[in-house]
Copies of this chain bind each other. A is one copy, B any other.
Amino acid sequence: MKKIMTLAAAMLLCISAFAQQALFGGTQLKSPEINPDNTVTFRFNAPKAIMVQLTGDFLPSVKRETQFGTFDAPGVVDLKQNDKGVWEYTSDVLAPELYMYSFIVDGLPVKDPANVFEIRDVNSVTNYFLITKEKGDKGNLYSVNEVPHGTVSRVWYDSPTLGMKRRMTVYTPAGYEDNPKAKYPVMYLLHGMGGDEEAWINLGRTSQILDNLIASGAAKPMIVVMPNGNVDEEAAAGEKAGGFAQPSMMHEGMMDGKFEQSFPDIIKYVESHYRVIAKKSSRAICGLSMGGFHSMHISCYYPDLFDYVGLFSAAIMPNTNPGAELSPVYKDIDNQVKVQFSKNPKLYWIGIGSADFLINANDEYRAKLDSAGFKYTYYPTGKGHIWENWRIYLSQFAPLCFK
């Protein structure tokens, strides 16, 4: 009796909610379906479509010519329509990884209405899924597992240098709240151009990677601070005052020294609001692309602050022009690096992919370090300037910190 009443009531609620709220695009199809052998079946319901295709970064890449050069772009495959009007495609066996994909229906990119899981990268939003095979593989490292979970917070810190309150994402490890006397080391993790304080936690799977590395004992419990590196905005698009401007790749003052000079504001906030070990041997700074550029310059402009430095596909652009306008952050950079290395950082880590357009700049920088006899760890990978590499670099770098 009770069960029937509950069910009836539930049904009523269900219908109403669907009819009035979840109006757009609900579907009963399963897509993507990850099969037991790690092939993946994609399904799309479009009885009247003439052609349904799929593009994704798990498909063999194709060369795409642009006015700026030739790039690798994900391939495109055709789906086949079954007798119910549903289009289907089953992939090859996929290796553990986070993959992104989109349908193309009669030439139009369309998200998968059966998959609510999406990530925003700058100004595009894309469906994704995860493949995992066994404990410890990449897909498993990026998954939510049955391990203790850290807390993820969005906090607003004061930046007197930039004259605004600014939003950042902070990960505190499992156990932080229950051990009120424990103090923790801090990793500052910086995004690339077009990113913001949401990039690493979403595209980078930072909380999952750290939860898993810490649970297995591979990494020390640490706080991870993910600030917004665009000095012209206080927060990510949608999270700042002034309406819903779409996110932009370009920001005023991205690489002119201002972010680097404001960095002590972030450290000050973190060290006065969290229980941290406030010394060089318990601070790491790392970042991807522009965030690698920022990490390089912050760590050498403030050579006493960080013992662990990670450059992930870093936009290394030795600034040799002698203009009077040059920010002090970039002045006399060769000498600044010399000072930094004279203070013996415990780890200076460089990771980059062989197909990255920044590989030459990184090679030149490494040659400079080599010729000066400065020690660093080099972690070369395949592929290019992509999140697949940046998740790997974080997974490799974090366990080396604070040991």
Binding site for B on A (CB under 8 A): 1-3, 5-6, 9-26, 34, 46, 48-49, 55, 57, 64, 66, 68-69, 71-74, 100-102, 105-111, 113-118, 120-126, 129-130, 143-146, 148-149, 151-156, 165, 167, 174, 177, 192-194, 235, 237-241, 243-244, 246-247, 249-250, 254-256, 273, 289-290, 315, 317, 319, 321, 323, 325-326, 357, 384-387
Q: Pick 16 A–B contacts, CB within 8 A, sort by A.
A: A5-B319, A10-B193, A12-B357, A13-B289, A19-B64, A19-B66, A19-B71, A23-B100, A25-B109, A49-B108, A111-B111, A116-B120, A116-B247, A118-B118, A144-B240, A144-B241
Complex contact B323–A1 (CB within 8 A):
yes
Measured in the bound complex, the distance between the Cα atoms of B9 and A22 in whole Å is: 44
Complex contact A244–B129 (CB within 8 A):
yes
Partner of A241, one of B106, B122, B143: B143
Complex contact B325–A14 (CB within 8 A):
no
Partner of A14, one of B12, B108, B193: B193
Chain B residue with the shortest CB-CB distance to A45: B108
Partner of A124, one of B26, B126, B130: B26
Cβ of A55: which chain B residues have Cβ within 8 Å of it?
A: 23-24
Complex contact B109–A24 (CB within 8 A):
yes
Cβ of A235: which chain B residues have Cβ within 8 Å of it?
A: 144
Chain B residue with the shortest CB-CB distance to A32: B244
Chain B residue with the shortest CB-CB distance to A68: B15
Complex contact B130–A149 (CB within 8 A):
no
What 9 pairs across the A-B complex have the smallest Cβ distances?
A24-B102, A153-B153, A19-B71, A25-B109, A22-B124, A1-B321, A149-B156, A13-B193, A146-B241
Tell me how far the C-beta of A141 lies from the nearest C-beta in chain B, rounded to whole angstroms.
Answer: 13
Complex contact B238–A117 (CB within 8 A):
yes
Tell me how far the C-beta of A283 lies from the nearest C-beta in chain B, rounded to whole angstroms.
Answer: 21
Measured in the bound complex, the distance between the Cα atoms of B244 and A273 in whole Å is: 35
